[in-house]
Structure 1
Amino acid sequence: MKFQWTLLLSFFFALIVAIFAVINVDPVTVNYLFGTAEWPLILVILGSVLMGGIIVGSVGLFRLFVAQRKVKSLTRENEKLHEELAKDKNTNLTNETLNKDDEPGNTEETGK
């Protein structure tokens, strides 16, 4: 459901940007470090939105990658701890069994 809302909001935002860009078609001067150029404002607006989307998407993908690595690391650590816990339980059960066999009133040893 969250994905659907995100998709609807992104379509709504794209529609607003498209309408805003189409209304502003006048040529504007764009200053670069090495010179200037005349561009229609619609291209400047759409280019800026596209670059902003690419930057935000890249940051989001990077954060997702870092989170996935952390989850993978924590999953490995959790599995190791479960294995150690299982070993400790087996060791404790074996020790308890050995201790019961060594008790003085054990009927198996006396034959009664």
Structure 2
Amino acid sequence: MKVRGQWNLILGLFFALLVAVFAVANVSSVTVHYLLGVSEIPLIIVIVGSALLGGLVVGMLGIFRQYKLQWQLKKLEKELTQTKSQLSQYQEKDLSPISITESTEQKEDQLAESTRSEETEKKTP
């Protein structure tokens, strides 16, 4: 995980350098049309502003995802605690889930046996 973070930092710095070089190479003024008006600003400001705005949006989405994952983790930890509590209650009552499963399987076998016997009775004239 540590190496991945270092690669992300290196790629981020490389991208920032690339944007800076591209922005410095384009210093001429351009006309920008807003919803409510028009203005003349240097292209370098448009490029850097767009890159910063894009970084801000990506960062906010990352923070949102992080909070969502933390919420899911808390929910799952709570569910795990409840499940462990239920398991300990079963063990105290000597009703382990294994014995419940075994009795369920026995009932299913009995049901299958009775179904087979009913089918053979129907076939026998």
Do they fold alike, i.e. is TM over 0.5?
Answer: yes
State how 1:50-61 maps to structure 2 within 5 Å: 50-61=52-63
Find the counterpart in structure 2 of residue 33 from structure 1: 35
Identify the residue that residue 45 of structure 2 maps to in structure 1.
43
**Structure 1 residues 41-73: Cα deviation after superposition (integer angstroms, max 9, x where no partner):** 000000000011111111111111111101110
Give aligned pairs, total.
93
Report percent identity of matched pairs.
46
Structure possessing the higher relative contact order (Cα contacts under 8 Å, 6 or more residues apart): 1
CA distance in 1, matches of 2:44, 2:68: 36
Alignment RMSD (CA, Å):
1.1
1:19 matches 2:21: yes
Equivalences for residues 56-95 of structure 1 within 5 A: 56-92=58-94
Q: For residues 90 and 2 of structure 1, what CA distance do their matches in structure 2 show?
A: 46
Unaligned runs of 5+ in 1: 94-112
Task: For 2:27 and 2:80, locate their aligned partners in 1 and report how far apart those are by CA, in whole Å.
Answer: 58
Q: Which segment drifts farther, 46-55 or 84-93? A: 84-93
Q: Secondary structure of 1:10's partner?
A: helix
Runs of 4+, deviation exceeding 2 Å: none
- d(CA) in 1 for partners of 2:35 and 2:93? 72
Runs of at least 5 residues in structure 2 that lack an aligned partner in the other structure: 96-125
**Deviation, structure 1 residue 77:** 0.3
Structure 2 counterpart of 1:8? 10
Give the letter aligned to residue 28 of structure 2. D
Superposed CA offset, 1:68-90 (max 9, x none): 10111011000110111112112
